[in-house]
Amino acid sequence: MIIRSRIDYGAVVYSTCKKSYLGPICTIQNTALRLAFGAFRTSPVSSLHCLANEFPLIDRFHYLRLSYVVHIARNPNNPLRRPILESPIDPALQNPFNKRLRSDLQQLDLPSFPQTLSQTFTSNPPWVNSPLPVNISMSIYKTDTTPPSVIQAEYRALTSQFPDHTHLFTDASKSSQGVGAAVKTPTDVLQFSLPTYSSVLTGELYNILEALNHIVNLPGFHFVLFTDSMSALQAFKALFPVNPLVVRIQEQFQQLRLQSKEILFCYIPSHMGITGNEMADTLAKEAILSVNSKPLIAVPSTDIKSLFRTRIVASWQRKWDTHPSHLRKIQPNVTTRLPLPSTRQGQVLISRLRLGHSRLAHAYLFSLDKVPPQCTKCKSVPAVEHILLHCTTFQQNRIRWSLLPSLTEVLGDLPAVEKLLQFLTAAGLLQLI
């Protein structure tokens, strides 16, 4: 953590210097990863990054620069917002930051910087505002084990407590084409469309906010807002919320209280045959592509950062897919986290085997003659795959410890790894790895 924090400090500024200057910094990270895994210097750097689930340093710098701009974009009073996001590129300057930002976005196939919701704060301290009343009594029913008829009966019992209240239903839906949100009232339907990179939580919070805005113009003073998003309701508990949508919901709720309007937020399970919820769900799915949906373009900074991370990971994955590597047979996905034994010796041994560089097969690279060794019985290079799967010398031990027949299986989950360590001990290979 000390090395990471020192590399990250100031990276937004120095990360776009010449690659020759960044080389020593990359070496620091790579050396730290080798020490952490106990890997040899011959181990491929790209495999170290993948095994550690750590961005290559160039990709990490890319993410840090974009995250820095997100921090600026969400604060409308930041003095850097205008020169970075709004001003044209000055041709008199050599590679200014807004020009580098445009290049960073182009690498991720983004035409412009996504619109970010401004960070806001409640006008009153939390001990002055009334907490949002939330009823989650129906959360005790598990949808995978409770019959829909039971949940519907409980819903009817719940609504019977509010006979004079106006009922509103909200829901959000996400697909590859975007995010849709909808509010269903007794007389109206509100539909909204959000960008594809928005989270479902953002759609649900926007729903609730728009429902409160709509209540301002509705007759009556008692309302129940039903939602199937437990995450949204739990977000209301924060005394100092960081999500700008939660702040706006709390502010609007306080304004409605000043108008003597009472709102209760109720959780209901989804897809259980509750009519209002089913209608809101259908409307939310239709809202994704509906021309009648109100577009909501600006989203919280967390969604923007998630978008950037997803795009950078996808770029890293494409590079990994074209990289010939021993580790790629075991870990084809860069985001997969492979389990390790509890002991340091076991962690080092398994990491070296996954990386494909062992003392037995690669120690010759540090010798003067540079002659690769040969298996005394099979007359082939004693690579990791050969030793674990094919060498006839260790066939009886493989059968004894029931080693699985592929690298993906034998070096994958923890039970298989524990068997592998027993195999290495019985075969006398521990000191040769």
Burial of 49 (0-12, 13-18, 19+ CB in 10 A): buried
Burial 145-165 (b: 16+ CB within 10 A, else e): eeeeeebeebbeebbeeeeeb
Residue 120, domain member (yes or no): no
Residues 273 and 366 in one domain: no
What is each CA distance from 159 to 163, 167, 189, 266, in whole angstroms? 7, 9, 21, 10
Residue 42, domain member (yes or no): yes
Residues 160 and 277 in one domain: yes
What pLDDT, on the 0 to 100 scale, is given for residue 433? Answer: 77
Is pLDDT above 70 for 362?
Answer: no
Over residues 283-327, the pLDDT tens digits come to 999 999 998 999 999 999 999 999 999 999 999 999 999 988 889
Residues 214 and 280 in one domain: yes
Residue 32, domain member (yes or no): yes
Average pLDDT for residues 189-216, to the nearest whole number?
A: 94
Over residues 254-266, the pLDDT tens digits come to 999 999 999 999 9
What pLDDT, on the 0 to 100 scale, is given for residue 240? Answer: 86
Q: Decide which of 92, 107, 122 is a domain's last residue.
A: 107
Q: Decide which of 235, 267, 298 is a domain's last residue.
A: 298
Residues 96 and 215 in one domain: no
Over residues 133-147, the pLDDT tens digits come to 999 988 888 888 888
Residue 240, domain member (yes or no): yes
Residue 50, domain member (yes or no): yes
Please indicate, yes or no, whether the overall pTM of this predicted structure exceeds 0.85. yes
Residues 165 and 212 in one domain: yes
Residues 149 and 268 in one domain: yes
The Cα 120–Cα 104 span in angstroms is 28
Residue 139, domain member (yes or no): yes
Residues 192 and 287 in one domain: yes
For residue 382, the enclosing domain spans 338-432
What pLDDT, on the 0 to 100 scale, is given for residue 382? Answer: 65
Residues 146 and 60 in one domain: no
Structural domains counted in the chain: 3
Q: State the chain's mean pLDDT as an integer.
A: 88
